[in-house]
């Protein structure tokens, strides 16, 4: 009787477990969005195009998918963010720089660099407690036909109209 009861408990518990990655892929197909830990405490969330190549990448401090409360305000080392951007979109792959803009409001600084093949956006905190500038987030937007066109809110006007 104990064996039957034990088997029923194990069977019931196995139905309540969360689905695994392979189960979800088998059920729904390939993912169009993934998150990677690129450094301790830093993640890169990648959205793919129809060709399964990266279209947009968001680099930010690790945070749970469902936020338990107010954002923590964690910042990242600007040196590490520069390294990560260099790994994900090396300068040779970016193409020629065609535009560069920035916007600052009190402690918040946004820097947008437009290249032939990619745009980079970095959000920085210039008033952090340390002496160095720290990044709050960074984005890479790849300019390929299979990627959605992103209207960057930091760019005022047409950068080609200079």
What does the pLDDT look like over 61-102, one tens digit per residue? 998 888 777 666 789 999 999 999 999 999 999 999 999 999
Q: Does 25 reside within a domain?
A: no
Q: Does 136 reside within a domain?
A: yes
Q: Does 22 reside within a domain?
A: no
The two three-digit tokens of residue 138, written as one number: 């960074």
Residue ranges of the chain with per-residue pLDDT less than 70 = 1-16, 70-72, 128-132, 152-162
- Which domain does 143 fall in, by range? 31-64+71-147
CB atoms near residue 31 (< 10 Å): 13
Tokens 């300019």 map to which residue?
143
- 23: DSSP letter: H
Q: Does 106 reside within a domain?
A: yes
pLDDT at 89: 97
Q: Does 153 reside within a domain?
A: no
CATH, residue 39: 3.30.160
Q: Which helix (H) or strand (E) holds 110?
A: strand 108-115
Task: Name the domain count of the chain.
Answer: 1
Q: Which helix (H) or strand (E) holds 103?
A: strand 97-105
pLDDT at 6: 53
pLDDT at 49: 92
Q: Does 7 reside within a domain?
A: no
Q: Does 2 reside within a domain?
A: no
Question: What span, in angstroms and rounded, lies between the C-alpha atoms of 66 and 8?
Answer: 33
Supply the pTM of this predicted model: 0.78
pLDDT at 99: 96
Q: Does 19 reside within a domain?
A: no
pLDDT at 14: 52
């Amino acid at each position: 009787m104990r064996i039957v009861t034990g088997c029923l408990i194990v069977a019931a518990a196995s139905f309540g477990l969360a689905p695994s990655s392979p189960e979800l892929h088998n059920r729904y197909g390939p993912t169009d969005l993934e998150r990677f830990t690129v450094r301790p405490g830093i993640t890169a969330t990648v959205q793919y195009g129809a060709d399964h190549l990266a279209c947009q990448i968001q680099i930010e401090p690790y945070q749970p998918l469902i936020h338990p409360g107010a954002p923590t305000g964690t910042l990242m080392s600007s040196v590490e963010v520069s390294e990560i951007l260099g790994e994900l979109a090396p300068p040779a792959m970016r193409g020629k720089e065609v535009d560069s803009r920035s916007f600052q409001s009190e402690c918040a600084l946004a820097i947008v660099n437009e290249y032939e093949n990619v745009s980079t956006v970095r959000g920085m905190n210039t008033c952090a407690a340390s002496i160095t500038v720290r990044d709050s987030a960074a984005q890479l937007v790849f300019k390929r036909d299979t990627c959605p066109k992103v209207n960057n809110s930091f760019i005022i006007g047409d950068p080609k109209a200079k």
